[in-house]
Structure formats: structure tokens, C-alpha cells
């Protein structure tokens, strides 16, 4: 499992909450995805996987540097 620092702000926390996703769930998937990919619409990195809470999430993010993630969005698939 990879370890990353996450750059959280109120706006992204609220955006994730609107999609029913917590910070913990987002971090869980990005750090230990079942699949990594690239967003077709933005070209940003993606991570998909199953959370310990039973959700299947698709997460989009930006790598600020080698170990820092800027969350963009996430939603259940």
C-alpha cells in the first residue's frame, strides 16, 4: 500500500460529501486502489476500488509532488 499526504481544504471536503464520499474513503482508495487509470475528460490520474465501508469509488486527483495528492472528485460507481 502506498502512503500519500493529502491536501484537504473545506471546498474539496464539501464537494466529496455532496457525492457521499468521506476523506477517509477517498484516501483509502487512492492509497490502495484495485485499478489506476487516467480520466478521459481531464487526463488526470484516477483510482478505483472497494472501500472498507462497502462502496465502490472512482477517485480523481492530481499529484502535487511524488507523495502529495490534491483530491479533485470522487463518486460511487
Per-domain residue ranges of the chain = 5-76
Give yes or no for residue 1 having a pLDDT over 80.
no
Cα atoms in the Cβ-side hemisphere of radius 13 Å centred on 34: 9
φ, ψ dihedrals at 31, nearest 5° = -80, -20
Going by pLDDT thresholds of 50, 70 and 90, the confidence category of residue 2 is confident
pLDDT tens, residue by residue, 40-71: 999 999 999 999 999 999 999 999 999 999 99
Amino acid at each position: 500500500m502506498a502512503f500519500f499526504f493529502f491536501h484537504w481544504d473545506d471546498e474539496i471536503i464539501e464537494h466529496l460529501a455532496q457525492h457521499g464520499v468521506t476523506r477517509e474513503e477517498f484516501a483509502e482508495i487512492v492509497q490502495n486502489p484495485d485499478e489506476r487509470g487516467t480520466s478521459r475528460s481531464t487526463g488526470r490520474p484516477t483510482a478505483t476500488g472497494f472501500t472498507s465501508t462497502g462502496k465502490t469509488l472512482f477517485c480523481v486527483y492530481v499529484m502535487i509532488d511524488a507523495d502529495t495528492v490534491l483530491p479533485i472528485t470522487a463518486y460511487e460507481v
